[in-house]
Amino acid sequence: MFDAEVLLPDFWSILDAVPVTLLMAVTVFICSTLLGGLFAFIEHRRIPVLRQLVITYKIAFKGVPMVVVIFLAYYGLPPALHFVATLFGVEVNAHSLPNWVIIIVALSACVGAFQAEVWKGALNSFDSGQSDAALSLGYSGGQLFRRVMFPQIIVAAIPDLANAFMVIMKALSLAFAIEVVDIFAQAQLTAALNFYYLEAFLIAVVFYMVIAYVVTKIADKIEAALRVRT
């Protein structure tokens, strides 16, 4: 039976995991955005060899389930780091790598493949005629990107970037597979103590909905402000 009396204690218990979850989500978002932007730039510039490697990377990481990538990183990342460290003669106990670092690396690698498509679409939406006009006015490549391209590209990318952040939030629920506690995992742990699973998961849903609402509103405000400037 549903018991409303456990909602408040469950709320405070699950609230403890919110800052950690948000910190991991923001870190993954930044890393995956930078990675995706680099991949999109390589594809946009059609850089030989690297472009083919990027395409192969995207196919692999968009096709493999995230939970599989998490376990591959969990079992493969420490020995890989140890091997690389030994090549440079550095003594590193890679097996002591925190699980939260592994989850950030794994999810950044996965989401980066999707972020590449976000930036690629934003780059393709840019009118190349503006580049020609800017160059004819004496703009350098850096000035062209900073003053003309990027302000328009970021506006086109913001809605998809906001969606990507929420994808990351949901993907972090897989982190419990390697004992990293996020909002969902904390709800499971809280429910395991009192066996009120419905109540705990409802509280988790509320937290996810509030975060989604805040992220959407922030994205809308940023997009509106940038559209006025551009």
Q: Dump pLDDT digits (tens) for 110-122.
A: 999 999 999 998 8
Higher pLDDT, 26 or 225: 26
Query: Are 10 and 18 in contact, with CB atoms under 8 Å apart?
Result: no
CA dist 11 and 23 (Å) reads: 19
CA dist 207 and 22 (Å) reads: 11
| pLDDT confidence bin for 100, thresholds 50/70/90 | very high
**What percent of the chain has pLDDT above 90?**
64
pLDDT score recorded for residue 105: 95
CA dist 126 and 224 (Å) reads: 18
Q: pTM of the prediction?
A: 0.91
Q: What is the mean pLDDT of residues 181-190?
A: 94
**What percent of the chain has pLDDT above 70?**
98
Q: What is the mean pLDDT of residues 130-155?
A: 79
Q: What is the mean pLDDT of residues 88-93?
A: 78
For tokens 């934003």, the residue is 122
CA distances from 88 to 83, 175, 177, 215 (A): 9, 31, 32, 42
One DSSP character per residue, the chain reads: ---GGGHHHHHHHHHTTHHHHHHHHHHHHHHHHHHHHHHHHHHHHT-TTHHHHHHHHHHHHHHS-HHHHHHHHHHHHHHHHHHHHHHTT----GGG--HHHHHHHHHHHHHHHHHHHHHHHHHHTS-HHHHHHHHHTT--HHHIIIIIIHHHHHHHHHHHHHHHHHHHHHHGGGGGGGT---HHHHHHHHHHHH--HHHHHHHHHHHHHHHHHHHHHHHHHHHHHHHHH-
| pLDDT confidence bin for 230, thresholds 50/70/90 | low
* pLDDT higher than 90, residue 72: yes
Q: What is the mean pLDDT of residues 132-151?
A: 78
What residues have CB less than 8 Å from 32, skipping those under 6 apart? 107, 108, 109, 110, 111, 112, 114, 115, 164, 168
pLDDT score recorded for residue 82: 83
* pLDDT higher than 70, residue 45: yes
